[in-house]
Amino acid sequence: MGVNVYDENGRQYKVGDVFSNKIVEQPLVTERREIYSFPFGDAEMVQMAFSGIYIVYGDMMLYETKRLNWEITGEMDLVEMHFTLAGDGSMKNLLSGKEHHFKANEHNMHYTPVFSGTGQYGGKLDKYKFLEVHFTTRFFLELAKDSSPSLMEFAEKVANGKEQELSRENMPISFAMHQCLQDIMNVKVSGGLKLLFLQSKCIELLTLQAQMYEDAARAPQTPSLILKPGHDTDSIHFAKDYLLQHAAQPPSLSELARIAGINEFKLKQGFKALFDNTVFGYLTDYKLTQARDLLVANVPIKDVADRLGYSSVQHFNSAFRKKFGVPPGKMRG
């Protein structure tokens, strides 16, 4: 399977070849990193394939063109979990007429048997960053068997060859999902352990995605009454980004609400609705995950505590043990 892209003037550029069915099915990790420089922008893409799973992630920076035409050549029957990490826009499949919108910090699951269409990119960010996990249809149907009602219903439509998406509206990427995505992009192990590690992370993402959809389907629809699409959700995403950028010295809740241009009630309720966590619960999870990575890299415990804004090593030790069940010293590389 190959990918061709056409700019607004109809000029064709070859983005690259997706790994063949044979490579995707073989029980070892094949990896390839490619950098592209086109007249309309630059892109970097990493591909990994193993045991019925195909991962691709990267970013694309457009200079002026905001619209590109995409053509998928060849055959590869895949179910895709799509995670947008930065940027926004839409993809329209001209063969089916279906259009999929994407926005930073959102995800969905798609099945598109054939695609030839248009991508429209816009918003404040020119850089588009993404990660996709694709399962071969055969493997996905095995995973979905006797799983959740929504996943089994989705799998039935996949088996019938119908283009579809798991959720009508994209869902927010949770902290647990973000951690999985980072683990995939920064995998440290090699050989057979790398295959097991990546496989487990992809299945964990599938589980988290399906569970989020089930929870959303069962939950009262009050968040939609609290948040207005557009300004409110944009403000909460801005608040989240600002909070993480100032993790060592975070603002108070009222200060964060003022900075984000939203009232405190909407910030608290909306944050919980979008990220399934409180504002400072999310920050704590983020800081402790950062701490774990620093400790594995052999950064001294006191330096980690200082860097992440903990008032004392004792306070840091207590929070770390509560989160991970072991003292920080056990995480040293």
**Element (H or E) spanning 79, and its range?**
strand 78-86
CA 240 to chain centre: 16
What pLDDT score was predicted for residue 118?
Answer: 85
pLDDT at 16: 66
Give the tens place of pLDDT for each residue, 42-74. Answer: 889 999 999 999 999 998 888 776 778 877 766
Question: Predicted confidence band at 225 (pLDDT cuts at 50, 70, 90)?
Answer: very low
* CATH match of 2-218 with 2.60.120.10: yes
Query: Is pLDDT above 80 for 122?
Result: no
Q: Are 36 and 29 in contact (CB under 8 A)?
A: no
Q: Evaluate whether 300 touches 291 at the Cβ level (below 8 Å).
A: no
136: helix, strand or coil: strand
Asked, colleague to colleague, whether 2-218 and 223-331 share their fold, the answer is: no
133 and 105 in contact (C-beta within 8 Å)? no
Long-range contacts of 298-307 (CB under 8 A, 24+ apart): 298/332, 298/333, 301/328, 301/329, 304/328, 307/248
The answer to whether the pTM exceeds 0.75 is no
Of 155, 157, 85, whose CA–CA distance to 125 is shortest?
85
pLDDT at 223: 45
Q: Where are the domains of the chain?
A: 2-218, 223-331
For 274-311, the pLDDT digits (tens) are 887 899 999 998 898 888 888 888 889 999 999 888 98
Q: Give the model's pLDDT for residue 231.
A: 66
Interval 147-164 mean pLDDT: 91
Identity of the highest mean pLDDT range in 109-118, 222-231, 252-261: 252-261
Please determine, for residue 125, whether its predicted confidence score (pLDDT) is greater than 70.
Answer: no
Question: What mean pLDDT, rounded, does the chain reach?
Answer: 85
- 223-331 folds as Arc Repressor Mutant, subunit A (1.10.10)
- Specify the higher pLDDT residue, 315 or 175: 315
